[in-house]
A and B are shown apart, each in its own frame.
Chain A
Amino acid sequence: EVQLVESGGGLVQPGGSLRLSCAASGFTLSNYSMNWVRQAPGKGPEWVSYISRSRNIIYYADSVKGRITISRDNAKNSLYLQMNSLRAEDTAVYYCARVEIAADGTTFDCWGQGTLVTVSS
């Protein structure tokens, strides 16, 4: 079964750091580009970051640029998101999402269950 499982969320103070992980199973992570998408309480999804299969292409949303770093370890079938200088507005459920390789356009065909990040003092 294809599965993505996020971990690492929790309560952190403003200005703090957190590292999220996403473990992939049921498929070979190295064959897929990956993303992080977040959803604040009561809001719609907001794309956060993209990393290509070989890590040579990376994109970030303007709202997190300079504070967040996406990375991957294909040997461990894992995706990561290092978040620094966290703000209250970063409070959200963070999902990892896989890019469908059979599609002509960018589309997210598999999502994890999400991990909640709460930034509060």
Chain B
Amino acid sequence: QSVLTQPPSVSAAPGQKVTISCSGSSSNIGNNYVSWYQQLPGTAPKLLIYDNNKRPSGIPDRFSGSKSGTSATLGITGLQTGDEADYYCGTWDSSLSAYVFGTGTKVTAL
């Protein structure tokens, strides 16, 4: 059972914006940096956002991240059919001495 909670699914029409929330606690999100990963069907997870709001080289600025208190949010603007995937938040949990992933959110472009 994950300590980071995400909505199971979000959807929007192509071109629209979606946001995915990730709720945790003071031992994880509250005191550590958050990352976001995209997992396309049948592939390994791919880093989208790190240090709450930074994008690795090659990740378009349609993807953005933010953090407030014990929650984090991933935003995707200009939704494309190619963005249909599972998205996971992740961070270190200082109490568990473990890296924890969120429950995952499936994004669908209607």
A interface residue numbers (CB < 8 A to B): 35, 37, 44-47, 50, 59, 61-62, 95, 100, 103-114
The winner among A45, A50, A100, A109 for most chain B CB atoms within 10 A is A45
Residue ranges of B at the interface with A (Cβ–Cβ < 8 Å): 2, 32-35, 37, 39, 44-47, 50-52, 54, 56, 86, 88, 90-92, 96-104
Q: From residue A26, how far is it (CB to closest CB) to chain B in Å?
A: 15
- B interface majority secondary structure: strand
Q: Is A105 a contact partner of B101 (Cβ separation < 8 A)?
A: no
Report the minimal beta-carbon distance from B36 to chain A, rounded to whole angstroms: 9
Residues on the A chain within 8 Å of B54, using CB: 103
- Closest-by-CB residue of A relative to B35 is A107
A47 and B91 contact, CB distance less than 8 A: no
Q: Which of A44, A100, A109 has the most CB of B within 10 A?
A: A44
Interface pair A108/B35, CB less than 8 Å apart: yes
Q: List 18 A-B contacts (CB under 8 A).
A: A37-B99, A44-B86, A44-B102, A45-B37, A45-B88, A59-B97, A61-B98, A62-B98, A100-B50, A103-B51, A105-B92, A106-B32, A106-B99, A107-B47, A107-B90, A110-B47, A113-B44, A114-B44
